Every structure is written in structure tokens, then in C-alpha cells.
């Protein structure tokens, strides 16, 4: 099952995405679960209702405009340098981190699948970072590692669009370089955790105009999904709908020689076969 949030006919809704159409759950079960975040909060009963309502297409795919999967999310937490060779990629002699590097993104910094991502007017050093994104399904604080995976509602994809020079404005933070409006994306949909093989490595790829730039698997993460949830819940309460960007592999444009920055017209595709393809075209800020 593929669950997505979208706009259609001037209204916001959510539904199940099929190969040829969309089941509009906002119409079918919206009195019980008005938005996807409400279905996520409901857990198993919500998924059961979605499955029961699914199977019939209410809309063609070209009738919807994708938005980020969880409108109304409270927290978007991102993990930096989580694949083994990423620290070397910076070429600054930094030590291997003892704990996850974390920062946050604001909801307005993300757009949905097939929506344009914006290269800001303040810099031409616009870069991509393909990532797997965890969508949290339960409320949890101080969650032990052995229970951490039970916190996951499902997985989606993200492109952490970044302004490399703005990341360097602060000596101990990257917030400003990660949060320009509409500079990144998330989607296209959420695949529930129960429909993914437990423990199976996920193959993450990022392509620019069809050229493979990033290529790695989650079995090589420095901090795996369970460890990230364990660590983050030591200081923060995770809630249903919260999103965790789990890190990007080597191969971003700014780390290539010479750098390969994103320019208007470029198409960024982030893919995990078990999840799907998140696709966005780059435009300049007006």
C-alpha cells in the first residue's frame, strides 16, 4: 500500500496510490480520519480502514498534486554524515563522530513529488542529498533499542536540498543552509513498515538527469534506524507523523571535482525500489 497526501479540485486530501488511479481516503473515511496524520495516529485500526476503503480508483493520477506525505508533522529531524565515507568527503580532517549529527528542517522547506524545488537567489551552490525518511507512528520517549523499530509507521523518501555555502555560515550549525523555502522534497508516498521485509537492506540511489550520482545500502549506515530512534528519544518525545531523514550517501554535487551544482531544468530522482521514486525539477527563485 502506498499512502500519499495531495491536493485536488481546490481541496486537500489523502489516499492510496495505485498504478492507474487514486483511492480518495479523505472522502471515504475522512469523517473518522480527516488527514493522513490522523490515520497514522490510529495505527493498526487506521491501516485496516485504509485497506478496507481501498481498491477502487476515485481519481486519475493526473488529477492530483502531491504534497509532502505528512502535512501537520511536528518535527522533521535530519541526520548528517551517516554513511561510512561521508566524513572523508569533507576533506577537513574531522574525526569520526561519536554520536549522530542532528539538525532540523522546517515544513515550508519541503515540497511534494513532481513539484519544483527552488534554487534560491542568494546562492548558486545548490546541492542534492537523497535520503530514506522514517515516518514515526507512535509516541515515545527513552525508547530502548529493542523496541525502536516498533515506533516506525512507514518509510518515504527525501531530497535534502542544501545551500553549501550557507551551511558554512555558522561554525557549529547548518540550519540556514538546509531551510530555504521549497529547497527540498519528500514523498512520493509512505509505504507502511509492515509491507517491507524486516531487516532487508534498502538500496538508495540518486540520479541527476538520469545520471547515477549516489548509490548505497542501509546495511552500511553508521547509526541504523533503531539506534537513531533510541538516541533521539533520549532527549525528545517522538510523535506520530514526525519525520527522520536518515542521512545521504557520498556523491553529492558539491563534493565532486569540479562541483556539479544543480541548475534550473535539472531533474533530481531519489529511488529505493521497495518504496518508489521521488522526482523533482529545479527552478530558479522568482
φ and ψ at residue 270, rounded to 5 degrees: -110, 125
Distance CA 245, CA 162 (A): 14
Q: Where are the alpha helices (DSSP H) in 68-143?
A: 86-89
Overall average pLDDT of the 14-31 stretch: 95
Mean pLDDT of all residues in 249-262 = 95
Closest C-alpha to 126, from 270, 247, 282, 246:
282
Q: Which three cell numbers stand for residue 253?
A: 554535487
Contact 209, 266 (CB under 8 A): yes
- Please compute the mean of the pLDDT values over residues 205-210 and round it to a whole number: 98
Confidence (pLDDT) at 93: 59
What distance in Å separates the CA atoms of residue 264 and residue 284, rounded to the nearest whole number? 6
Percentage of the chain modeled with pLDDT above 90: 87
Q: Hey, which residues does 211 pair with through a beta bridge? A: 208
Q: What is the pTM of this model?
A: 0.95
Please name each of the domains of the chain with its CATH number.
3-66 (no CATH), 76-284 (3.90.850.10)
User: How many other CB atoms are found less than 10 A from the CB of residue 209?
Assistant: 10
- Give me the pLDDT at residue 90, please: 53
By C-alpha distance, which of 102, 74, 125, 98 is closest to 243?
A: 74
Residue 245 cell numbers, joined: 531523514
Which residues have CB under 8 Å from 209's CB, separation 6+? 266, 267
Convert the pLDDT of each residue in 66-96 to its tens digit: 999 999 999 999 999 999 875 555 555 566 7
Q: Using CA atoms, how far apart are residues 64 and 22, in angstroms rounded to an integer? A: 9
Amino acid at each position: 500500500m502506498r499512502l500519499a497526501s495531495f491536493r485536488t479540485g481546490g481541496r486537500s486530501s489523502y489516499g492510496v496510490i495505485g498504478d492507474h488511479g487514486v483511492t480518495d481516503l479523505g472522502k471515504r473515511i475522512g469523517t473518522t480520519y480527516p488527514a493522513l496524520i490522523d490515520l497514522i495516529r490510529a495505527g493498526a485500526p487506521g491501516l485496516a480502514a485504509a485497506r478496507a476503503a481501498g481498491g477502487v480508483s476515485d481519481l486519475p493520477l493526473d488529477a492530483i498534486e502531491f504534497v509532502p506525505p505528512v502535512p501537520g508533522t511536528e518535527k522533521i529531524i535530519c541526520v548528517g554524515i551517516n554513511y561510512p565515507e561521508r566524513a572523508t568527503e569533507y576533506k577537513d580532517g574531522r574525526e569520526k563522530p561519536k554520536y549522530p549529527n542532528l539538525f532540523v528542517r522546517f515544513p515550508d522547506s519541503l515540497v511534494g513529488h513532481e513539484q519544483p524545488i527552488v534554487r534560491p537567489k542568494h546562492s548558486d551552490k545548490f546541492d542534492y542529498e537523497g535520503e530514506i525518511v522514517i515516518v514515526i507512528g507512535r509516541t515515545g520517549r527513552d525508547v530502548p533499542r529493542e523496541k525502536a523499530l516498533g515506533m516506525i509507521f512507514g518509510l518515504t523518501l527525501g531530497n535534502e536540498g542544501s545551500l553549501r555555502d550557507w551551511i558554512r555560515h555558522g561554525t557549529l550549525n547548518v540550519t540556514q543552509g538546509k531551510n530555504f523555502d521549497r529547497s527540498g522534497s519528500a514523498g512520493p508516498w509512505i509505504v507502511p513498515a509492515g509491507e517491507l521485509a524486516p531487516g532487508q537492506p534498502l538500496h538508495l540511489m540518486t540520479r541527476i538527469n538520469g545520471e547515477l550520482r549516489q548509490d548505497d545500502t542501509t546495511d552500511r549506515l553508521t547509526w541504523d534506524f533503531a539506534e537513531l530512534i533510541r538516541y533521539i528519544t533520549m532527549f525528545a518525545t517522538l510523535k506520530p507523523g514526525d519525520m527522520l531523514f536518515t542521512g545521504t550517501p557520498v556523491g553529492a554535487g558539491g563534493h565532486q571535482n569540479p562541483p556539479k551544482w544543480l541548475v534550473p531544468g535539472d531533474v533530481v530522482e531519489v529511488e529505493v525500489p521497495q518504496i518508489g521514486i521521488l522526482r523533482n525539477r529545479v527552478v530558479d527563485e522568482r
